[in-house]
A and B are shown apart, each in its own frame.
Chain A
């Protein structure tokens, strides 16, 4: 195998794919619960979380940033619920109010604090920098079996593996609770299913995945992967498990094709071109959804 290929292409592609799959799996349930835009809201409030974490901890290290972002995501979910229930505001508007306010707060804090002097900007937060997550040690022969070289792997890879694992375990252990409380929450409550806990756990996982994915690939992929693959999969089948399988497939195709199109594909047009891989992955997932909306077998659902 071409070693350069492993380090410079395969590792970032793998990171993108892991993020995409973790998001897509959860996205299926967000869509069925008509909560797709929670992903959008949660991804937006990661910014204020990171800025506050920086102000509090005074460092740009990853630990506080992840904690801050996760805390912000959970706080936003809580605030949305509060505004919805106590203020009797419809869910969409409640989300809109909360995430724009928190995002604005994040931008103002960013501008007012020392953060802006350090290398950190909103654009990076939005579309990440997948291309830079390379494994330089992986370009040497035999690196796959060299512990020292392995330690040089981008740390985002490990964190995304962890996130994906958490998602899989959650789905495995809480599958029945999740399905019954998604399909028929009233019945689920009568059965004694902890409906609110399951809902909160789902949103917490979305937050964890959004934060780890965000750090690696930016907010835009996170939103796209939470929604587009699952939406496209929804149009392919009428069964839940096949739908999850389709969404994983679409997520993988988006990640691989998007990364390829951003890198090698654009190089065909001219060597001067370099475009955002994250943006390209999001765009590809949109194209997949468009194709499914035109031609997928179950696109009409019960409306047909």
Chain B
């Protein structure tokens, strides 16, 4: 299917994306456009396919149908311009590495095999850590970090990629208030400087304060557009049904079926 001309200013445009685990659908024909220079949230109840959508767009999980275009081009041509931040809980933090080692992983695409990390690259990694107030912990073992600090390291690693588009999977899940504030300030600055950010988000109470645009998802697309236009009671009720308690933020993170759990 063709991307219409109006999508040409999209950092990420998704068309007819369907994903299933076996014959259990996770996403059903989802269309979505995330505009450049905007900060967008993907919201929806647990199991709605929010993380699945980012992963499918990044080619991490196979799709049944549909396509994702980054800056109007396929993923392979645009990888250098995209930074993906996985869920914090998806890695083993007892890995033998220090904070700066993890941030330097963000340089992967700009390093040749066998080349060593130079002083300027190390300096750049430190600067990325400074942005998240973590420069002091650069040589700390990652196993000793708190949840919020782990998330900051992941954000710093994404900054080190010097990308134009940040895709974040639940960046605020299980982090402390100070970290949440640091990250959101940073993301807003990133977007103000011309970047684009798309985050899977579960706390409905902060959507209006944090984001410009929103995509409401529940296996299928419910609504999308500016927060003012799309983030309405009616749309939320359609997505969450009886599960919506408007004023209490959802606290269950990572409850989405990342893989078929029926083993």
B118 touches A (CB below 8 Å): no
Interface size of A in residues (CB-CB distance below 8 Å) = 30
A273 touches B (CB below 8 Å): no
Nearest B residue to A233 by beta-carbon distance? Answer: B96
A120 touches B (CB below 8 Å): no
8 Å CB interface, B98-131 against A = 98, 101-102, 105, 108-109, 111, 113-114
In the bound complex, CA of A234 to CA of B79 (Å): 34
B90 touches A (CB below 8 Å): yes
Residues of B near A302 (CB, < 8 A) are 93-94, 143-144
Decide: B91 and A193 in contact? CB cutoff 8 A: no
A149 touches B (CB below 8 Å): no
Cβ-defined partner of A190 (8 Å) among B82, B98, B263: B82
Per-position contact with B for A248-262: 1 when CB-CB < 8 Å, else 0? 000000000000000
Decide: B91 and A189 in contact? CB cutoff 8 A: no
In the bound complex, CA of A299 to CA of B98 (Å): 17
* Stretch of B25-33, B53-61, B208-216, B242-250 on the interface side: B53-61
Nearest A residue to B263 by beta-carbon distance? Answer: A88
Decide: A88 and B262 in contact? CB cutoff 8 A: yes
In the bound complex, CA of A238 to CA of B99 (Å): 12
Given known contacts A173-B113, A176-B113, is B94 in contact with A301 (CB within 8 Å)? yes
B3 touches A (CB below 8 Å): no
Decide: B113 and A174 in contact? CB cutoff 8 A: yes
A63 touches B (CB below 8 Å): no
Residues of A near B79 (CB, < 8 A) are 191-192
Residues of A near B86 (CB, < 8 A) are 184, 186-187, 190
8 Å CB interface, A227-252 against B = 234, 237-240, 243
CB of A258, distance to nearest CB on chain B (Å): 26
Residues of B near A190 (CB, < 8 A) are 58, 60, 82, 84, 86, 167
Residues of B near A176 (CB, < 8 A) are 105, 108, 111, 113
Nearest B residue to A190 by beta-carbon distance? Answer: B84
Cβ-defined partner of A193 (8 Å) among B55, B108, B167: B108
A90 touches B (CB below 8 Å): yes
Nearest B residue to A234 by beta-carbon distance? Answer: B96
Tally the A-B contacts, defined by beta carbons under 8 Å.
80
B141 touches A (CB below 8 Å): yes
In the bound complex, CA of A137 to CA of B167 (Å): 65
Interface size of B in residues (CB-CB distance below 8 Å) = 35
Decide: B58 and A240 in contact? CB cutoff 8 A: no
Nearest B residue to A238 by beta-carbon distance? Answer: B141
Nearest A residue to B93 by beta-carbon distance? Answer: A302
In the bound complex, CA of A234 to CA of B97 (Å): 12
8 Å CB interface, A14-56 against B = 32
A183 touches B (CB below 8 Å): yes
Nearest B residue to A90 by beta-carbon distance? Answer: B263
Residues of B near A187 (CB, < 8 A) are 84-86, 91, 105, 157
Residues of A near B193 (CB, < 8 A) are none
Instruction: List 19 additional contacts besides A32-B92, A187-B91, A239-B98; criterion CB under 8 Å.
Output: A88-B260, A90-B263, A174-B113, A176-B105, A179-B105, A182-B95, A183-B102, A183-B105, A184-B86, A190-B58, A190-B82, A190-B167, A191-B79, A238-B98, A238-B141, A238-B143, A301-B94, A301-B143, A302-B143
Q: Which residues of B come within 8 Å of A, CB atoms?
A: 55, 58-60, 76, 79, 82, 84-86, 90-98, 101-102, 105, 108-109, 111, 113-114, 141, 143-144, 157, 167, 260, 262-263
Q: Which residues of A come within 8 Å of B, CB atoms?
A: 32, 88-90, 172-176, 179-180, 182-184, 186-187, 189-193, 234, 237-240, 243, 301-303
Q: Report 26 cross-chain contacts, Cβ distance below 8 Å, ordered by A residue.
A: A88-B263, A173-B113, A173-B114, A176-B105, A179-B105, A180-B108, A183-B95, A183-B97, A183-B102, A186-B55, A186-B60, A186-B84, A187-B84, A187-B86, A187-B91, A187-B157, A189-B60, A190-B58, A190-B82, A191-B108, A193-B108, A238-B98, A238-B141, A239-B98, A301-B94, A302-B143
